[in-house]
Structure 1
């Protein structure tokens, strides 16, 4: 297996529960190279969720369909990013000094703030998916939030310092990434978004107008960058940098923001 295929396999093994069977030597170099394929992993997750959404909406009313779609979405990642969301909430919402926040985030146990943050996040995601389903929104648009949320994870790794330096999983494997590493992931995210745009008229755009669809393709990347940058700066100001947990939290938060943007476009624009 050449280096490119190893990096692709590493991205899928690390970020998802897709059955990618490959024996890999997980070096820091391989981890860093794998980040260019993160948007592709997001597209694969989005594609499965899209197919699940099409089946669920055909068989079930919108509310149980939305819950099952969300369950499938979380299962495809093995709860990896949700775990980061909860650990980050436990740390940041403890309002302790920086070192104590980082220690709390290392604890494998989930605290009250983490549970509360997870419940609220899942409720919001489920209601946003429900709103999109009941508004005649095309399930194909589910491809976009996972693509751009995972692109921003790469951007965050390259743009903000590691809170623990070279310690921890993120510090050992992603430390030293540069802006060019995040730029390498941009073409893939753009191409995958373009593919979704091409497929939309072929598969049916529901009640979306072309103006709404075009706004979605433009605003979602901008919203991912804006919401992610604001959140990453806030986390860095409190923690002195980012950690593996905060990357997962950023992914979950951005996916939710992008679903919210889609709902706003659908109902207000």
Structure 2
């Protein structure tokens, strides 16, 4: 065990395995729930190094999610987000050069709670128009484009510094009117592409190395049962409960980041 990052105890490894399974569940059922996994990894391992260990596990979950929901992605939304996300990733990389763990956790926790509050407010003031799997063109108006850029930059920033972009993108997709399948398909492709693009940055920052990959090799198998359970559960969760779970997971993740 001494060859692994932080030399986690047996109970620490059990916690990491459970968190890896939760990654799989979040990718195929309740996006944003993996903020709990983020908190577990940061509690068991050194906070900075934990982001490098978690990234390959997230990519494994992304691959399973794409395999399951690949036909439900809304590509106009993705193309609208990617340029802003790239800006956020670059800002996040620069931030990691000088920010300590406390600054990272506080910043992201505050952002998540703020955006959850904004989403709840928007939902209370929204009309009763039913969303569809093919989301409305939220980029057709100037306000829609500004919103996409704002969420994109925040998503890129949070995913780079702490793998915490899931809640930000979840809130954006909910606000754009996605139902479950469109939400999960668009999110799956988004994070597979973005997380894969983050790998060179993480290697350059020293967050991914031989030790982190060894720990990943021990944990990645737990992603699969989590994804299978998530796929089984998603068809049994109605739309309103699904949205509440996503927002609840976002708030829980934000609070955990602030209290850690």
TM-score, normalising length: structure 1 = 0.35
- Higher relative CO (Cα under 8 Å, sequence separation at least 6) belongs to 2
Which entry has the higher C-alpha Rg, 1 or 2?
1
